[in-house]
């Protein structure tokens, strides 16, 4: 039974060896600095890219979370309506009733969000 996991073990080994190899080769052949300040670009996040535009820890407006939540609402609707549309004809009237029950609850949630001014972008 454990034989099946041999490839996984192999994969872990290869990954570890590759990383170790790169680090070791780098240490042997790379330019050596006594102090980090000799190479100031070494301490930037992207050693060979453009400079940072801003810090990544800035605060995000709470509104984005609301938009994300509303996105879930509509995303769910879309995801379930597509496969439903494919099989609706073969399932018959019960499918229509079921999808409308489902849509009803989404509409209730949407009314709630709308009345709470979640879409009111001031």
Partner 1 sequence: MNFDPIFLIGEFSLVALIVILTLVDAMRKPVFALLGSSAEITPDIESRNRQATWIAGIGLVIVAAVYFIFGKATSGESVSLLHDSLRAGGGVYIGKLAIIGAGILTILLSARYTMAQSIPAADYYLLLCFSLLGALTLIAAENFLMIFLSLEMMSIPIYALVGLKRYNSRVGESAIKYLLLGGLSSAFLLLGISFIYGMTGTLVVNDVLTHLSQVSQTVSSEMLLMGLGLVFIFVGLAFKVSLVPFHAWTPDVYEGAATPVTSFMSVAVKLAAFAVILKIFAGSLLFPAFDPLFSRLFAFFALLTIIYGNSVAIVQKNVKRMLAYSSIAHAGYMALALAPMGHNIEAVQAVLFYGIGYIAMNMLAFGVLVYLTYRDKYCETLEDLTGIARKYPGAAAVMSVAMFSLGGLPPAVGFVGKVQIFLQLINGKFYATAVIALLFSMVALYFYINVIVVMYMKEPEAEVANIDKKSMLPVWLTLGFSTLFILILGILPSPLMEWSLEWAKMLF
Q: Which is nearer to partner 1, 103 or 113 (CB)?
A: 113
Q: Which is nearer to partner 1, 50 or 61 (CB)?
A: 61
List Cα–Cα distances, 65 to 61, 62, 103, in angstroms. 8, 6, 23
Closest distance to partner 1 from the beta carbon of 62 (Å): 8
In this structure, the chain runs to a length of 122
Phi then psi dihedrals of residue 45, to 5 deg: -60, -40
Q: Which is nearer to partner 1, 13 or 67 (CB)?
A: 67
Closest distance to partner 1 from the beta carbon of 68 (Å): 13
Q: Which is nearer to partner 1, 21 or 91 (CB)?
A: 91
Q: Which residues bind partner 1 (CB under 8 A)?
A: 1-2, 62-63, 66, 105, 108-109, 111-118, 120-122
Closest distance to partner 1 from the beta carbon of 52 (Å): 30
For residues 52 and 44, the answer to whether their CB atoms sit within 8 Å is yes
Closest distance to partner 1 from the beta carbon of 101 (Å): 10
For residue 52, give every residue at least 6 positions away whose Cβ sits within 8 Å of its Cβ, in sequence order, or none: 44, 45, 46
**Which residue reads 């170790």 in tokens?**
20
């Amino acid at each position: 039974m454990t034989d099946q996991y041999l490839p996984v073990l192999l994969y872990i080994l290869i990954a570890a060896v590759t990383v170790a190899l790169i680090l070791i080769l780098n240490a042997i052949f790379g330019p050596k600095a006594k102090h980090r300040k000799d190479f100031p670009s070494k301490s930037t996040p992207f050693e060979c890219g453009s400079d940072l535009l801003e810090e990544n820890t800035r605060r995000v407006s709470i509104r984005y979370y609301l938009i994300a939540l509303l996105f879930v609402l509509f995303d769910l609707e879309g995801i379930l309506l597509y496969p439903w549309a494919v099989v609706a004809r073969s399932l018959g009237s019960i499918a229509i009733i079921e999808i409308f029950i489902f849509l009803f609850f989404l509409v209730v949630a949407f009314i709630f969000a709308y009345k709470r001014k979640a879409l009111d972008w001031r």
